[in-house]
Homo-oligomer: A and B are copies of this chain.
Amino acid sequence: MQTLLHFDWIYNIGTVAFTVAGYLVGVRKRLDLLGIVIVALLTAIGGGIIRDVLLSRTPRVFLDATPIFLISTALLASLLLKLQTRNTGVLNRLFIVADSIGLVAFSLAGAQVGIDAHLNLFGVAFLGFVTAVGGGLVRDMMVNEVPFILHEDFYGTVALIVAVALYGARTAGVVGEGVGWALLVVGLLLRLIAHTREFRLPRVEE
C-alpha cells in the first residue's frame, strides 16, 4: 500500500519561498525580466522536473499547472513590492522559515516518489535531495556560481536526513501520514536550529 503525503498547502508555502529565492538571485545577478522569470521558475519547479525526468515521467507541472499560478502571483508580488529593497528582520525570518518548510516538504515528497518506485536507499535519498535542492543547484550553475549547497551551511544535509528517515520508517513498517508530519516538524526544527546556530559541515584541509 502506498501512503501519499497530503500536505498541499505546505508545498505551496515552499513553492512561494523558492520563487522568491530565485527572484532575489535573478535581481542580484542583474538579469533582465525574462532571466528573472526563468531563474525563479527553475528554483521553484526545477527539482520536481529533474525528479520526474530521472523516473521517466512526464513532468507533473506540464500536466497540472497549479504551481504556475502560485509562482506567477509570487513573482508579480515580488516585483510590485520591490522585495529586493525590503531587507527587514521580520521579512528575512519569515523567508527563512518558508524556505525551510519548502526544503523539508519537497525532500519528503521526492523520497516518497522514490519509495513508491521501489528504489533503493540511495535512489530514495537522491530523489529527495534533488527534488528539494535540484532547482536551486541548476539555478546557481546557470548564473555562474558554485551552488551554495556545495560549500555553505547545513542545508542540503537536512534534505538528505529527512529522505533517509522516511525510507527508514517505511522499511521498518512505520507508515501513515503521521510519519510525514513528524518528519516535517523534525526536519524544519533541525534546519532552523542549524541556521540560528550557524552549523557548518567540516571542510577538508588542502
CA distance A55 to B56 in the complex (A): 8
A29-B146, A63-B119 known; A35-B151 Cβ under 8 A: yes
How many A residues, CB 8 Å from partner? 61
| Assembly stoichiometry (copies) | 3
Within 8 A of B (CB), among A76-126: 79, 82, 84, 114, 117, 119-123, 126
- Are the C-beta atoms of A31 and B151 separated by less than 8 Å? yes
The segment from A7-15, A137-145, A166-174 that touches chain B is A137-145
A33-45 vs B, Cβ < 8 Å mask (1 yes, 0 no): 1111011000000
Pairwise interchain contact A65-B201, C-beta atoms closer than 8 A: no
Contact assessment for B68 and A32 in the assembled complex, using a CB-CB cutoff below 8 Å: no
Q: A33's contact among B28, B57, B202, by CB below 8 Å, is which?
A: B202
Task: Give Cα distance in the complex from A82 to B204, angstroms.
Answer: 9
Q: Which of B61, B146, B206 meets A84, CB within 8 Å?
A: B206
Is A177 in the interface zone, CB < 8 Å from B?
Answer: no
Q: Is A58 a contact of B59 with CB atoms below 8 Å?
A: no
Q: Give A122 to B26 CA distance when docked, in angstroms.
A: 21
Query: Which residues on A are within 8 Å of B, measured CB to CB?
Result: 26-36, 38-39, 49, 53-59, 61-65, 68, 79, 82, 84, 114, 117, 119-123, 126-127, 137, 141-147, 149-152, 156-157, 160, 200-206
